[in-house]
Amino acid sequence: MFDFDEALKRVATQTILCVGDVMLDDFVYGDVTRISPEAPTPVLAVRHNAIEIGGAGNVARNIATLGARCVFVGLIGGDDAGRVLLEALAQFDDSIIPDLVVEAARQTTRKVRFVSEHHSAHLMRADWETAAPASAASQAAIIAHAEAALPKVGAVVLSDYAKGVLTEGVVRAVIDAARRFGKPVIIDPKGHDYRVYRGATLLTPNRKELSAAVHRPVVSDAEVAAAAAELAAVAGCDAVLVKRSEDGMTLAVTGEPPVHVPAYPVKVRDVSGAGDTVAAVMAVLLAQGMPFEPAMRAANAAAAVVVGKRGTATVSLAELRHRILPAASTAGEDKIVFDWSLLDERLAAWRRAGLRIGFTNGCFDLLHRGHVRLLAEARAACDRLIVGLNSDASTRRLKGPTRPINPAESRGEVLAALEAVDLVVVFEEDTPLALIGRVRPAVLIKGADYRREDVVGRELVEADGGDVVLVDLVPGHSTTAMVARAKEPAAE
């Protein structure tokens, strides 16, 4: 049995090379309440938009969000969309090292998706792109950048969106160079002739792409497994991982029986970019020698996280660990948030329902009777209770180098198991002020050991017309006292 926890801890030591088609993803969100009088089309009342790095760039984002480093080689045009992409990549500091070739006459791929928030539905997509193969000079530059990076990386991802970067010449040159260095190559493929990918370590087609590659329908487990084994033989690769959406994943490793894993039961908000997440997770785990099957199970868990988010999303290491290493219950898992964009969605739904939102916070290192009483009384003051939980680093700064006793994942799971708690949100700062500003609760609850004027976030809440509630503590109960007692020598 592979030790997932140890493997996840080593992710931060990895550097991955990603080569592929980068694009600018623009999500325009709004509400549809009427049909246009000019034509039988819905009218989207735009509320906000989100711009993300898409395509192969989303693979790079996922690698960086997991805590690894990514050398990213791609192609952009000399246009505004290309400049926006460069600015967005610069936000990742040294976790993404962009090595992008600029082709002045080329149009950078840009996709604008119009999304109805109320129905969680994509209404339309508009594309700007040049899908022609990169010029000979650009291909040579891409190959040179990739070969220069290979000695410094643990694995290679080729993310093919058929936009012109991964020509047969580029694919062949990068795979051959990677094999010389002994680096695993993970390919998210496109097209119908997969012989161009011969020599790769792993191919990750979805079911539709697999069906097109073998020229027949693939539906059942047996059909998918047979087609994947056939594709592995044709492409001359070590393994094929088939992404099957709601049916999970199938892994076919040459010379081994196929493995099927079911999808996690999650509420799907948006499947955009889930394949990029799978490729990123497989890369950071195969780079450190993890076998195919446990790596696939981790990738399956990561995909479950990102399809529960809006837009072209990423997964953090904490979210992945939380999904792989089971919580006390599925309901508890759904209550814990590391990515604040999910918090925004939950808040929006609660506010639409007219619910009174409450907030409290703490380290909750060793949950005791006093905590339970505080949380129960806090929940009685509102319809939905959000608990801000100090991260491990934040707890250490507040409580000293020996704390926390339990990591944030464990503390969050214990809190989420309580009926009084509706959502646990982990924050990195020393105080929850930024989180309170994000939540804008109607009621802020703290223990009566605080003076009202000392409660962090009081001014924000009261300025919004909200209330601050101080709950009486249970005497003699504190985590600090429990830790001190545990260190005392036992009586004879």
Which residues are catalytic, by number? Answer: 276
- Alpha carbons within 13 A on the beta-carbon side of 401: 0
Q: Select from 357, 370, 362, 270 the least CA-distant residue to 313.
A: 270
Q: Are 483 and 395 in contact (CB under 8 A)?
A: no
Q: Using a CB cutoff of 8 Å and minimum separation of 24, what contacts does 350-353 make?
A: 350/383, 350/384
Angle between helices 274-286 and 292-306 (to 10 degrees): 150
Phi/psi of residue 292, nearest 5 degrees: -60, -45
Cβ-based neighbour number of residue 346 at 10 Å: 19
Strand partners, 103: 77
Task: DSSP letter for 406, please.
Answer: S
The distance from CA 169 to its chain's CA centroid, rounded to whole angstroms, is 32
What would the DSSP string read from start to end of 160-196? --SSSSS-HHHHHHHHHHHHHHT--EEEE--SS-GGG
Angle between helices 168-181 and 136-149 (to 10 degrees): 20
Q: Which two tokens stand for residue 228?
A: 């994947």
Q: Select from 87, 28, 25, 21 the least CA-distant residue to 60.
A: 21
Task: DSSP letter for 54, please.
Answer: E
User: Can you tell me whether residue 240 is helix, strand or coil?
Assistant: strand
In whole angstroms, what is the distance from residue 460 CA to residue 8 CA?
Answer: 38
Query: In one letter, which amino acid is 417?
Result: A
Query: In one letter, which amino acid is 7?
Result: A
Q: Select from 326, 311, 340 the least CA-distant residue to 423.
A: 340
Measure the CA angle with vertex 244, ends 243 and 246; round to 5°.
Answer: 130
In whole angstroms, what is the distance from residue 358 CA to residue 353 CA?
Answer: 15
